[in-house]
Chains A and B, each alone.
Chain A
C-alpha cells in the first residue's frame, strides 16, 4: 500500500506518564482518507491516550505522527486543529451558559469594527454549516437548554467550522438514545460521502459493525491489529479485546423470592421545572430476587434512585426497608438498615478520587468498633480487610495505598462494588453498575450481583443497558414517563421488541397488570 493513501499515520507511539504508567507501547495506527475507522478496546487499553496525542492534548514519549504525508509535532489542540484534526469529546467541551452560536465560534469570533463581537455573523456561520452538513441546531438557544443529541451536533459543527477534515469521535453514542444514534449515523455517513475521515471510538460491537470500514483493536496499551470490519466477527473482536471469550450471559438459578424488603408506595416527584418526574409509583423488591428497572434514560429512573437514598425528597409517598421509613432519613441511617448503593455517577457519589483505595473501602465502616482502638484506627485490621477485598474483587492496582482516581474505570467501579457488597446488605440499589467499564469488570460485577441475590439480598437494578437488565433481572419493571409502563414477573421469554414498545410508550399495561409488582398490602 502506498503511504499517501493514509491521512493519519502514527508510528511506534509510546507514551509513558510521569508516574511511570505506560499507556501506549509501540502503537501503530493508520487511517485511510475517507474512511470511518473504529478504535476499540477495554477501558484502560490506551485508546483515549492515543487519541489525545493525535489531538495535541498529550505528547508522545516516542514515535512519529504524520498527517497528510507531513510529519507533525502536535503540541496543542490549536496545532492539531490547524492540521485539520477535530475532536468530539465524550464529555462535551461546551459552555452551558453560552448560546450554540457562541460556542461554535469561540476562539475564532467574527468581529465588527475590530472591537465588538459580531453575533449576527456567528449565527450566520452556524446556520450555513448546519445546513451544509445537515446537522440541525438552534443557534440562539443556550447550550444548557438543548438536548444531548443537539449538543453532540454542536460539537461536530465546532470541529467542522474550524476546518477539520479528520474527526475523532470519542464514544459518541454513549449518551444518545437509540433514535439519536440512528440520526448521528446518518449524519456521519453524510460526512463520509463528502470526503471526511473519522475515527470512531466505541465499545458497542453492533455499532462498529454498522458504521465502520476498518477497525484497530487495542489491549493493554498495544495494538492488536487492524481489520476490515466486514471480515471480522463480533466474537473475534471480543476475543481480541479481552484476550478470552467473554461469556456475556450470566448463569443463574431460578430466584426464590420471599419477604418484601423494599416497599415503595405512591411515590410522586415534581422537579424544579415543574415537570412530573415520578408519577404514582408503587413496587416491591423481595428478598432473593433481582428486580430490574429498564427504560429510556430520563424517564424518572435517576429521580427514583435519588429519593431512595435521600439525595432528593419526593412530593409524597412511602418507601420502607423492612418496615422502616427511608425517605428523608440520613444516609447513615439508610445504610444502617442494610441498604447499599452503587451510584450511577461513581466519580461524584461512589468514591473520593484523591483518597486511597483503602480509605475508600473503609469509608462507610470506619466508625465500627472492629476498625478502632479507642480513639485511633486499628490500622492492622484495616490493612488486612482492605487487602482481602482488593484480592476478592480483583482490583488491579499497585497496592492499597494507590489513589482511586488513578485507576481505570472498571477498577474504580470494582472498588465501589467491593465496599458496597461487603457491607452485608439486605438491599442493593445498583444504578448503571457496569456503565462505561470494560467487559471483564462488567462480567465480574454482574456475577457478584447474582451471587448476592441468591444468598438472600434484595436487588434493585436500574440500567439503561438492555442486555444487562434482561440477563440479570428475575422480574422487570419498565419505566416510561415517570410511571411503571409494564411489569414482567419472569424475564425469560421477554424479547427486546416487546420491551421497546413499552419503553417508547407505544404500549402500556393495565393498572391490574402493573399492580402485580406489589406483593401484599
Chain B
C-alpha cells in the first residue's frame, strides 16, 4: 500500500495538483499575513472567500468577461473586509466576532443572494460558460522542460498571480513606507500613534488589502477550481489559511511554504480517496488533521518564547493603563 502511495506521489500530476490546490490557500494566507501584521486578526477570510467567489461568478456571468468577475470578487472582498473594519475599529466590537459574523453571512447569506440574483438554489453550474473561467496559462519554454513543465505550467493565470503576490506582499511590507507603518501599528500601536501615524487608517488599509487578496482566493475557487459556485465551495480554506499564516510566522515566504504543506496534504488526501482500502471519509480529513498537527507543533515552539518574553509585555500594559 505504501508503495502504491509513493508511486503516486512521485508523479508530475501529483506535483501539478499540489500547486493547483495550494493557490487559493496561498491567497488567503497572504491576506491573513497582511492583516495580522497590522495587528488585526481577519478571521472572516472564510466568509469573504465564500461571498466573493459567488460575486466573481455573477459578475463574469453578467458581463461574460472572466476578468470582470475577478475584479468584482476583489472589490467585494475589500468591501467585506472594510465592513469588518467598521465593526471592529470604529464601533469597537471584538474583531473575532465581526469575523465570525462575516463567516456566517458567507455560509447562509450567499444562498439567499444566489437565489435573489439568479433564481438558482445551491450552485451556479448551469450558468457557467467557458468565457467565465479564468484561463490556463502555458508558459513558453518552461512547459517543454520535462518534469518541471508539467508541474509548473498550465495553471490558472491566478495561480501565477498568487505566487507573484508572495514577493509583492514581501516588498509591500519590507520595502515601502506603508509596510513600515503596517508593521509598526501591528507591533506597537502606541508608538505609531505617538509619531502621528494614524493607526485606524493603517488598519483599514491592511484590512482592505487582506480583503482583496482573499477575494482573489474566492475567485480562483469558483472561476477555476470548481468551475462554478456551490454552497460548500470554500470548505475551510479560509481557516486553513489562518493556520498557514501562523505556521509561517506571519511572513509571506513562510506562509507560502505552510500553504504548500497543506496543499500537499490535500492532494494526498484527494489521491488516496480513489484507492482501495481507505475510507474516503477518513482520507478527506487528512488536510484538516495536518492543520491541527501543524498548529500544535507551531504552538509548542511558541509557548517557550511567550513565557520568556512576558516581561516585554510589561511596558505595553502599563502604557495602556496610563
Contacts and interface: CB of A to CB of B under 8 A. Distances in A.
Contacts of A95: 183-184, 187-188, 191-192
A94 B188 contact: yes
B310 A93 contact: no
**Quick one: which of A76, A106, A345 has the most chain B CB within 10 A?**
A106
A146 to B, nearest CB: 14
Interface stretch (B15-23, B143-151, B291-299, B313-321): B313-321
Contact of A348 (B188, B308, B317): B317
A345 B311 contact: yes
B302 interface: no
Nearest to B316: A91
A378 B186 CA distance: 44
B314 A347 contact: yes
Contact of A111 (B177, B190, B191, B196): B177
A300 B255 CA distance: 38
Interface residues on A, range: 35 or more
B182 to A, nearest CB: 11
B175 A116 contact: yes
Interface string A383-424: 000000000000000000000010000000000000000000
A102 interface: yes
A48 B315 CA distance: 16
Contacts of B183: 95, 97-98
Contact of A91 (B177, B196, B318): B318
B310 A348 contact: yes
Contacts of A87: 194
Contacts of B181: 106-107, 109
A209 interface: no
A272 B315 contact: no
A144 B318 CA distance: 18
A91 B190 CA distance: 10
A93 B190 contact: yes
Contact of A96 (B187, B196, B197, B308): B187
B191 A103 contact: yes
B286 interface: no
Contact of A77 (B196, B308, B314): B196
**Quick one: which of B176, B177, B183, B318 has the most chain A CB within 10 A?**
B177
A320 interface: no
Interface string A98-122: 1000110011110100011100000
Contact of B176 (A98, A116, A302, A405): A116
B175 A117 contact: yes
Nearest to B185: A95
B292 to A, nearest CB: 28
Interface in B183-209: 183-184, 187-188, 190-197
A94 B191 contact: yes
B318 A347 contact: yes
